[in-house]
């Protein structure tokens, strides 16, 4: 995989054969940013890293993390001291750093993420014309833009940094490295990077995708057919098969990270939480990953030696969600999430409690075991969907199958078969963000109507409040980590004004702390919504989103740039 822009960096790195690089990447397994030997400017002895740390007042590996991850960071730092750093995983030597800067990379990026940018040349911001803001992540804003050189429409993901704090740069570097390792039709392709020597910001350039699965699923007018569900699941599992085969765990599979183009092609996106792993050389990883509704039980129970099963659990949640018409386990806290899992999938067997030795087992083990009731709950699901859901939602990850086995299951080999992606209907652009905006607007209108009509206004029942596809903010993966990162993010990007980048985004508050209580009360039984109905309250009126120039747009677009933004925290 290379840079589509065709210009290889005039660095020594570019001279290295790609095979050599892949071999090197093969050594990046088990990396967590801030961990040992992550190859993302980790703990190599390169002077650049030291220099960057001194400059940025560098935090430790736990800068992004909450207390739990801090402890993990301490543990791993201890291990790091024992382990001899692998020189092949260090940042490029000083001469390569110099060459990368000469090729147009900013020094702060080359210093910390030399490996991630190796062999590439940055694109200039003024070679893109920003069209619209299309998405907002925890640490990024995503824009639709036109590549002025090719005319192609692309998605620009602007990563927010705090004063170029090395830890947050390393996060982004890991995402880039992983994206460069992957090359599959069902995985979003990183086409290049936009920055410049004097810039303090970085944009990741992706092929543009019109929809995401959460947005489509939340649309009141869209009802998926069985061949369509099979088609999406087939593509999701094929993408996961590729990731897992390349030693990558995604760790945040959910509808809003499954992008769809107008040809019905599904691509896994957002590798911000992904990590390299090697099942033969297990290494502790953080359990604070995956958005709550899609988080596997072993993660909620504190596992740090998990594997591909965590992505397959999320895939099982998505399969059931697509067939049920709404999320199947929308927990609000970790405790509630685990309780929902136990109620549906049964609590772990005695044998599993014993063998797994999960850190939170003692506090979360229910006094009375819960019986598994997937088949009863989803009795109306089409034939052969249940056996696959049963295995993907196995409590014991060892019983969860691989993506390859799932692809060979009867769900896919029996009629009606998955349809061809190209035969799928063409939908108007829909993103999770659009659904959120529709939801917000609907709420605003209801509130306005309520005021106007006084007590006569109809109150929506909780069940009417769009139960699907839109994870509550506090359900976001690595919430504490993301909050920490947000705190780290200042307005350093303002320095890039000369490049006419959009103004730094005003971040809203993200939500509430996760799982303040870790005690599972067996008497606590949160109200569940039956799986038979789907009700949405989204308004269909188009809602204007913020639009402004990345470079000065032609006059017809200047009009749009006066509209105001309506951010929605993810
Ligand atoms: N290639 C793309 N084409 C179109 N839209 C995209 C593309 N990539 C991302 N988006 C939109 O932007 C949103 C945010 O992107 P992404 O999930 O990568 O950001 P993030 O900051 O990593 O988010 P998170 O908070 O989930 O970690 C997505 O949900 C999607 O709607």
Angle at 322 between CA 293 and CA 134, to 5 degrees: 75
Q: Which atom of ligand 1 is nearest to the CA of 270?
A: 18
Higher per-residue confidence, 276 vs 533: 276
- pLDDT confidence band for 304 (50 / 70 / 90): very high
DSSP states of 70-126: HHHHHHHHHHHHHSPP-GGGSPPPHHHHHHHHHTT--HHHHHHHHHHHTT--PBPGG
In this model, does residue 246 exceed pLDDT 70?
yes
Residue 385 C-alpha from the chain's centroid: 26
Question: Which range is least confidently modeled, 61-65, 121-125, 238-242, 402-406?
Answer: 61-65
Ligand 1 pocket, 270 CB below 6 A? yes
Q: Which of 64, 134, 158, 187 to mutate to test the pocket of ligand 1 (most atoms within 8 A of CB)?
A: 134
What is the Cα–Cα distance from 278 to 35, expressed in whole angstroms?
Answer: 15
pTM above 0.90, yes or no: no
Percent over 70 (pLDDT), the chain: 60
Q: Which atom of ligand 1 is nearest to the CA of 135?
A: 12
Mean pLDDT of 6-30: 31
Higher per-residue confidence, 478 vs 198: 198
With 0-12 / 13-18 / 19 or more C-beta atoms within 10 angstroms meaning exposed / middle / buried, residue 382 is middle
What is the Cα–Cα distance from 82 to 71, expressed in whole angstroms?
Answer: 17
Q: Which of 128, 130, 136, 142 to mutate to test the pocket of ligand 1 (most atoms within 8 A of CB)?
A: 142
Question: Which range is least confidently modeled, 153-157, 212-216, 460-464?
Answer: 460-464
Contact call for residues 57 and 271 (beta carbons, < 8 A) = no
SS3 content of the chain, % helix, strand, coil (to 5): 40, 10, 50
Higher per-residue confidence, 367 vs 529: 367
Residue 156 CA to ligand 1 center (angstroms) comes to: 9
Residues of the binding site? 157
Rounded to the nearest integer, the mean pLDDT of the chain is 70
Residue 182's pLDDT is what? Answer: 98
Integer Rg of the chain from CA: 23
Ligand 1 pocket, 191 CB below 6 A? no
Residue 155 CA to ligand 1 center (angstroms) comes to: 9
Q: String of b and e for 299-332 (b: at least 16 CB within 10 Å)? A: bbbbbbebbbbbbbbbbbbbbbbbbbbbbbbbbb
Residue ID of nearest Cα to ligand 1 atom 7: 155
What is the Cα–Cα distance from 57 to 76, expressed in whole angstroms?
Answer: 21
Residue 436's pLDDT is what? Answer: 67
In this model, does residue 465 exceed pLDDT 90?
no
DSSP states of 311-352: HHHHHHHHHHHHHHTS-S---SSHHHHHHHHHHHH-PPPHHH
Residue 91's pLDDT is what? Answer: 62
Question: Which range is least confidently modeled, 19-28, 122-131, 388-397, 495-504?
Answer: 495-504
Ligand 1 pocket, 28 CB below 6 A? no
Residue 135 CA to ligand 1 center (angstroms) comes to: 6
Residue 213 CA to ligand 1 center (angstroms) comes to: 12
Contact call for residues 157 and 203 (beta carbons, < 8 A) = yes
In this model, does residue 72 exceed pLDDT 90?
no
In this model, does residue 298 exceed pLDDT 50?
yes
| Of the candidates 536, 559, 540, 538, the residue with the CA atom closest to the CA atom of residue 548 | 559
Mean pLDDT of 440-468: 52
β-sheet with 190-194: strand ranges across: 128-136, 140-147, 153-159, 202-207, 190-194
Sign, Cα dihedral of 189, 192, 195, 200: positive
Question: Which range is least confidently modeled, 180-194, 307-321, 445-459?
Answer: 445-459
In this model, does residue 293 exceed pLDDT 80?
yes
Q: Of these residues, 162, 212, 252, 439, which one is catalytic?
A: 252
Interval 321-358: pLDDT, tens: 999 999 999 999 999 999 999 999 999 999 999 998 89
Q: How far does the chain reach from its first CA to its final CA, in angstroms?
A: 30
Sign, Cα dihedral of 126, 132, 133, 135: negative
Whether 252 is catalytic is yes
Ligand 1 pocket, 212 CB below 6 A? yes
């Amino acid at each position: 995989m290379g840079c589509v822009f065709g210009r290889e960096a005039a660095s020594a790195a570019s001279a290295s054969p790609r095979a050599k690089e892949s071999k090197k990447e093969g050594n990046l397994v088990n990396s967590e940013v801030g961990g040992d030997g992550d190859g993302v400017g980790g703990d190599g002895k390169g002077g650049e890293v030291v220099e960057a740390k001194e400059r940025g007042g560098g935090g430790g590996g736990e800068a992004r993390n909450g207390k739990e991850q801090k402890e993990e960071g301490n543990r791993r730092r201890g291990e790091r001291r024992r382990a001899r750093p692998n020189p092949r995983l260090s940042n490029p030597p000083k001469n390569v750093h110099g060459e990368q800067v000469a090729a147009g990379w900013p020094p702060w990026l080359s210093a910390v993420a030399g490996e991630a940018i190796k062999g590439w040349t940055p694109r200039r911001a003024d070679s893109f014309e920003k069209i619209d803001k299309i998405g907002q992540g925890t640490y990024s804003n995503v824009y639709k833009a036109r590549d002025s050189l090719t005319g192609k429409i692309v998605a620009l993901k602007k990563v927010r940094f705090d004063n170029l704090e090395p830890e947050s740069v390393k996060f982004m570097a890991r995402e880039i490295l992983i994206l460069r390792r992957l090359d599959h039709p069902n995985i979003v392709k990183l086409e290049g990077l936009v920055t410049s020597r004097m810039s303090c910001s970085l944009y990741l350039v992706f092929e543009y995708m019109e929809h995401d699965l959460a947005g489509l699923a939340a649309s009141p007018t869209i009802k998926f057919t069985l061949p369509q569900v099979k088609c999406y699941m087939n593509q999701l599992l094929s993408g996961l098969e590729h990731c897992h085969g390349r030693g990558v765990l995604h760790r945040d599979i959910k509808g809003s990270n499954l992008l769809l183009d107008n040809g019905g092609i599904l691509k896994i996106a957002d590798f911000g939480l992904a990590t390299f792993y090697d099942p033969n050389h297990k290494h502790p990883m953080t359990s604070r990953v995956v958005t709550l509704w899609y988080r596997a039980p072993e993660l909620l129970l504190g596992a740090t030696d998990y594997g591909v099963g965590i992505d397959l659990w999320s895939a099982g949640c998505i399969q059931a969600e697509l067939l049920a018409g709404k999320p199947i386990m929308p927990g609000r806290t970790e405790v509630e999430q685990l309780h929902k899992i136990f109620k549906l999938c049964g609590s772990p067997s005695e044998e599993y409690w014993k063998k797994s030795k999960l850190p939170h087992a003692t506090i979360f083990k229910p006094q009375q075991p819960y019986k598994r009731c997937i088949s009863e709950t989803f009795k109306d699901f089409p034939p052969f969907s249940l056996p696959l859901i049963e295995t993907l939602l196995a409590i014991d990850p060892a019983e969860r199958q691989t993506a390859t086995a799932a692809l060979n299951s009867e769900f896919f080999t029996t009629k009606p078969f998955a349809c061809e992606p190209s035969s799928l209907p063409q939908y108007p652009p829909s993103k999770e963000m659009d659904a959120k905006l529709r939801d917000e607007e609907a709420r605003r209108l209801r509130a306005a109507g309520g005021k106007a009509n006084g007590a006569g206004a109809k109150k929506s029942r909780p069940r009417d409040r769009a139960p699907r596809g839109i994870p509550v903010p506090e359900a976001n993966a690595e919430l504490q980590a993301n909050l920490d990162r947000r705190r780290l993010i200042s307005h350093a990007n303002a320095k890039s004004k000369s490049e006419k980048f959009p103004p730094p985004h005003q971040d809203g508050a993200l939500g509430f702390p996760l799982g303040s209580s870790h005690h599972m009360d067996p008497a606590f039984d949160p109200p569940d919504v039956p799986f038979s109905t789907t009700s949405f309250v989204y308004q269909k009126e188009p809602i204007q989103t913020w639009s402004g120039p990345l470079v000065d747009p032609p006059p017809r677009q200047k009009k749009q740039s006066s509209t105001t933004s309506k951010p929605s925290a993810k």
